Amino acid sequence: MAAGLIGWLLARYAPHTLRPAAAHGSDGDDRAPLISDDALHTEAPSRRRTGRILGIGLLLWGAPLVTVALLTGTGSVFTTQGVFFSGTALVTFGGAYAVLAYVAQQAVQTYGWLGPGEMVRGLALAETTPGPLIMVVQFVAFLGAYRDPGGLDPWAAALLGALLTTWVTFVPCFLFIFLGAPYIERLRGNRSVSAALTGITTAVVGVIANLGLYFVFHTLFKEVDETGSGPLHLLVPDLASIRPSALAITAAALLMIFRLRWSVLRTLGVCAALGLASAAVQAL
């Protein structure tokens, strides 16, 4: 909200700060797209269409959550996960890594569904696929429901939690797309909305950097304390608890990526092999 407000204020009082810089080597030739926007938007916005999509989307979104709440109670881990990830789908911007910063904070510190180290492993698991968000939210919900299954078998509870979380996280995405598509061009032409979204986009860079630091600290150090006052919190690692093997693998990864210019896939493969070797040595 603060980032959106700052973007709006800059557009109003210092609009030159939000103008994109010209691309290097650009000749200023604004060519028309191969497929015009008019050809893509075949259905004009209407209240009837909006109401129909909103009704169907809210029914699909809310029915499983209401059913789980009635069957397991409003205080069950399933209802809590459904409500939390529904809210996550509504308030997070910026893609998977921006969402995961919020999920990591709430799942570990607020709800205690898993520990910081487990959250790191969940992200590592997600990096083996092109879709990190769905993997991590399933992983978080799976562990949280497995450890608090209520009257269900832990494995059945974990599966139910993962399925419910996936549903309530991604159904809103389709709802927003179908609901907002006819209006998107109008929003793009609205300078105030565009400026607010520019501010949010800029803030997302900081959110992703925060997630990176979170995982760096909990990977390289065994003990990480938190200090702060009010809304400000700072992670302070215990330097004496550093993991030498993790630090060495991190250094090797940086060398392969930035110095040797290796691909991400190749780098991940080498780092995975180094991790297996390190674990084997420590087990001896």
> For the segment 142-194, what is each residue's pLDDT rounded down to a tens digit?
999 999 998 899 999 999 999 999 999 989 888 888 888 777 767 767 788 88
Percent of the chain having pLDDT more than 70?
A: 88
256-283 confidence digits (pLDDT tens): 999 999 998 899 899 999 999 999 998 8
Q: Is the pLDDT of residue 98 over 90?
A: no
pLDDT of residue 41: 58
pLDDT grade for 36, boundaries at 50, 70 and 90: low
Predicted TM-score (pTM) of this structure: 0.75
- Report how far residue 181's alpha carbon sits from residue 278's, in angstroms, rounded to the nearest whole number: 50
User: Judging by beta carbons within 10 Å of its beta carbon (0-12, 13-18, 19+), is residue 216 exposed, middle or buried?
Assistant: middle
Alpha carbon distances (Å) from 123 to 58, 76, 78: 30, 26, 22
49-95 confidence digits (pLDDT tens): 889 999 999 999 999 999 999 999 999 999 999 999 999 888 776 67
pLDDT of residue 62: 92
Residue 71: CB partners within 8 Å, gap ≥ 6?
Answer: none
In degrees and rounded to multiples of 5, residue 129 shows phi and psi of -130, 165
122-153 confidence digits (pLDDT tens): 888 877 776 677 888 999 999 999 999 988 99
